């Protein structure tokens, strides 16, 4: 049965599109049929996918893509569920109609959070909505600088934290500029390892159960590699 992963965050600029694109590509690389839906009026995911089509050719991006809004969101999610293994939704930075529909349609909600007080405060509205809908959540610390004490403080204030942290890495943005993702541009990089660990953690929660130790081992390996690769960090 297909699964819907909604990437949501009330605050703009938290990295929703980056996370959504990277999750989608990583799942596609595993041989899954993956659809991505852009319901954010800003259209960043749509722009990224157009660059991807120019690079690989229309119909050869490895993803089924849709950009919808309003009342059509629910119907599009239902349609793509029938033909895909995973549907990834990049939702708008607020909790209005489209975002609520995306959240209610989800099997899991991924909430990117930058290490800042404003991200922390904005996240609580999305968490409350997810709680009311009784949908599993994973909060992912994103764009985290090495040894960030603020990130640790913010994480301590939030429930349902992901075991995986995404570093503040140039490769994430550089890959998107080319219509690709870190797992394609540099599969052995720390950025790619972080994405793989995040995807493994998410799928372990919504697919057939896997041994928890396997997830923890992958996350641990990602963190160890991160310590050895500070060059990718912004400002390194």
Domain layout of the chain by residue ranges: 3-230
| Helix residue ranges, H only, 30-93 | 44-56, 72-83
- pLDDT-derived band at 138 (thresholds 50, 70, 90) equals very high
Tokens of 77: 């999610």
Pairing of strands 108-113, 137-141: parallel
Relative orientation angle of helices 16-29 and 44-56, to the nearest 10 degrees: 40
Task: Choose between 98 and 78: higher pLDDT.
Answer: 78
Mean pLDDT of the chain: 87
Q: Are 172 and 234 in contact (CB under 8 A)?
A: no
- pLDDT-derived band at 95 (thresholds 50, 70, 90) equals low
Q: Give this prediction's pTM.
A: 0.86
Instruction: Report the alpha-carbon distance of residue 168 to residue 233 in Å, rounded.
Output: 6
Quote the pLDDT of residue 81.
Answer: 95
- pLDDT-derived band at 29 (thresholds 50, 70, 90) equals very high
Determine the average pLDDT of the residues in 207-220: 50
For residue 7, give every residue at least 6 positions away whose Cβ sits within 8 Å of its Cβ, in sequence order, or none: 16, 19, 20, 23, 88, 89, 90, 91, 109, 110, 111, 112
Determine the average pLDDT of the residues in 49-69: 96
* CB atoms inside a 10 Å sphere around CB 199: 23
The architecture (CATH level 2) of 3-230 comes to 3-Layer(aba) Sandwich (3.40)
Q: pLDDT tens for residues 140-181?
A: 999 998 778 888 888 888 888 999 999 999 999 999 999 999
- pLDDT-derived band at 69 (thresholds 50, 70, 90) equals confident
Lowest mean pLDDT among 26-30, 42-46, 51-55, 70-74: 70-74
């Amino acid at each position: 049965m297909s699964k819907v992963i909604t990437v949501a965050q009330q605050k703009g600029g938290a990295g929703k599109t980056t996370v959504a694109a990277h999750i989608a590509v990583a799942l596609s690389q595993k041989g899954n049929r993956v659809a991505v839906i852009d319901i954010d009026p800003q259209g960043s995911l749509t722009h990224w996918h157009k660059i991807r089509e120019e690079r690989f050719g229309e119909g050869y991006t490895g993803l089924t893509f849709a950009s919808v809004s309003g009342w059509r969101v629910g119907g599009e999610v239902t349609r793509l569920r029938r033909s895909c293994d995973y549907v990834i939704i990049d939702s708008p930075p607020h909790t209005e109609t489209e975002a609520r529909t995306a959240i209610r349609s989800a099997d899991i909600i991924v909430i990117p959070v930058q290490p800042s007080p404003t991200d922390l405060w904005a996240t609580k509205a999305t968490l409350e909505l997810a709680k009311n809908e009784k949908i599993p959540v994973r909060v992912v610390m994103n764009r985290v600088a090495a040894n960030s004490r603020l990130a640790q403080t913010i994480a301590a204030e939030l429930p349902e934290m992901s075991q995986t942290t995404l570093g503040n890495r140039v490769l994430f943005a550089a890959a998107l500029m080319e219509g690709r993702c870190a797992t394609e541009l540099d599969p052995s990089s720390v950025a790619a390892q972080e994405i793989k660990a995040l995807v493994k953690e998410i799928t372990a929660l919504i697919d057939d159960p896997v041994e928890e130790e396997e997830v923890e081992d992958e996350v641990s390996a990602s963190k160890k590699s991160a310590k050895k690769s500070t060059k990718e960090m912004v400002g390194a």
